[in-house]
Amino acid sequence: LIQKAQAGDTTEIQIDTSAPLKDGVYKLTEKNFDTNGWKTYLNITVTGGKITKVDYNNINEEEKLKTEDDEYQKNMKKKTGVGPKEYVPQLSDALIEHQNTDGISVVSGATHSSHIFKMYAAQLINAAQKGDTAPIEVDNLVYAEEDK
C-alpha cells in the first residue's frame, strides 16, 4: 500500500478485511534505519487460516533487538511510562487475539510504534489474503534532524 503511493500509483486499493487468510509466513521489514538507529520488522505466521504467531520488533545495525536493549527500555519507560518490553508483546498478542487490526488499541506511551505496527500488520494481512509470501520491504524515508 505504502509502496504503491511512494511510486506514485494513485489507483484505488480494494481491501476486503473479511477475506480468509492463506497459510504461510508473511514478512515485512523497513529498508532504512531511523535517526535513532532502529528499523522495524514484522512477521506473521498463518496456520489453518488464523494468525498463530507474530514476530515483531526493531533491530539496530548490530542486530540487537530493541526489546533486549535495557538502556533503551529504561529511558523510554522513564519518559513515556512504557517501553518495548511492554508494548511489543501487547501489540503482538492483540493481533493474534483479534485476527485483524481493528481491535488493536494504541498503547499509551507508544503511540507511534502502535500506529506503525497496525499499518504494517494490515499490509501483511492483505498479503495473507492473497497468499503472497514475497517479503515486503518498506522504503521508510528517514531524514536526519538538523542541529539547531
pLDDT at 8 over 90: no
9 exposure class (CB count in 10 Å sphere: 0-12, 13-18, 19+): exposed
For the chain, what is the mean pLDDT? 90
pLDDT at 2 over 80: no
Q: Can you tell me the distance from the alpha carbon of 91 to that of 23, in angstroms, rounded to the nearest whole number?
A: 21
pLDDT at site 19:
86
Q: Can you tell me the distance from the alpha carbon of 119 to that of 94, in angstroms, rounded to the nearest whole number?
A: 14
pTM (2 decimals)?
Answer: 0.86
Percentage of the chain surpassing pLDDT 70?
84
Query: Region 116-144: what's the mean pLDDT?
Result: 92
Grid cell 522513564 is found at: 78
Query: Region 3-11: what's the mean pLDDT?
Result: 56
pLDDT at 15 over 70: no
More confident residue, 114 or 15: 114
Q: Which of 100, 134, 94, 93 is nearest to 15 (CA)?
A: 100
More confident residue, 142 or 59: 59
Query: Region 113-123: what's the mean pLDDT?
Result: 96
Query: Region 28-38: what's the mean pLDDT?
Result: 95
Instruction: Write the CB contacts of 15 (distance below 8 Å, at least 6 apart in sequence).
Output: 122, 126
pLDDT at 25 over 80: yes
